[in-house]
Amino acid sequence: MTSPLPASYSRISGTGSFLPPQRVTNADLAAQLGAKGVETSDDWIVARTGIRARHFAAPDMPCSDLAVEASRQALASAGIDASQIDLIILATSTPDMVFPSTACIVQRKLGIQGCAAFDVQAVCSGFVYALTVADSMIRTGAARKALVIGAEVFSRILDFTDRTTCVLFGDGAGAVVLEASDTPGLLATELHADGRYAEILCTPGAMSGGQVMGLPFLKMDGQAVFKLAVGVLEDVARSVLDKAGRTEADIDWLIPHQANIRIMHGTAKKLKLSLDKLVVTVDEHGNTSAASIPLALDVAVRAGSVKRGDTVMLEGVGGGFTWGAVLLDF
C-alpha cells in the first residue's frame, strides 16, 4: 500500500447509524424493575433526564454488529466502497472481547484487509476523541478515507437494581466517513482529561485469573458528573471557537453528548444558543455513550436539519474524566 499524501483538511462525506430493534420505553423498564422491587416511573425518569425510551441489543448481538450496520450506512451515504477505507477508528467502552479490538472485528466483517484499525476508549467522549485522531492522521498523510465509529452495548454493564443508572443508558451505533479535502471541514478540535475524577463515573471490574475482579456494573456520582459536565463543555466549546476564529453566532447546530436534557439545555444557554439549534435524540435513544454524537448527527442529517454548509459543534464529556469538542463545517 502506497503512503497517502498529506491533506490540508478533512471533511465528513457520509453519516450512518443503527439502533437494535428492541425499543424499551420507560413504562417497559418500570415494569421490569418493579418485578425486582425497584420503584421508578415514566414521570420520574422524564423529569430528571428527558429520556422516554432506549434500545437494547439482543444477547447474541455484539458491539461489532451495531458498528457494521452504522458503517454500511455511512459508506453508502459517502458513495464509496468499503475497500476504499484506509483507516478504521472505533470508540467504545463495551467491546466484543478483551482483544483484539472491535475495530479489527468490524474490519473483517466489512471485508477490508490491511488498513490500520484500532479502538479508542474515552467513554462518552470517545467519538470526539476518535474523530480528532482521524483528522490528525488525514492531515499528516497517514490516511485519506477514514471510517470513524461510536458503538456501544451499555445494557451489558447496567445494574438493573440501581434506578439512578439503569434508566439512563441504551445501545446503538453511529459512524461517519472522514475524507481528505481541499476545502475546510473540521475547523478546530480539542481534547482534555482529568484522571482525578476517575471514580465519579466508572465500571471498576476487571478480568483476572478467569474471574471478574471488582464490580462489573456502571457506577456514577450523578451530581458530581453534572457539576463538572456543564462547566467543561462551555469552556471547551469557547476554546474551539477561538481556535477557528468563529463565535457562538456562527453555530448553526449544537450536537452535544446525549446524556441528560438538563445538561444539554444548560450548555446551549451558556453559549447563548436558541434551543432550536440543539439536536436532541436523548428522549428516544437514552445515553448511548460513544455512539450518542454520531447517532444524533446522522438523525439530524437524514431529517434534513443539518445540511451541507452548516457549522456544527460536537461536544462530548464522560468517564475518565474526559471531554472534548469539534467545530466543523458540514
Active-site positions?
124, 257, 287
Write down the H helix ranges in 79-188. Answer: 102-110, 126-139, 163-166
Which residue is it, cell 444548560?
266
- Cα gap 177→146, rounded to integer Å: 6
DSSP label at residue 210: T
Give CA separation, 314 vs 141, 149, 170, 234, in Å: 24, 14, 20, 12
Contacts with 155 (C-beta within 8 Å, 6 or more apart), sequence order: 56, 57, 169, 170, 171
Q: How far apart are CA 104 and CA 192, in angstroms?
A: 26
Q: Is 171 exposed, middle or buried (0-12, 13-18, 19+ CB in 10 A)?
A: buried
User: Rounded to the nearest 5°, which phi and psi values hold at 206?
Assistant: -150, 155
Retrieve residue 232's grid coordinates. 467543561
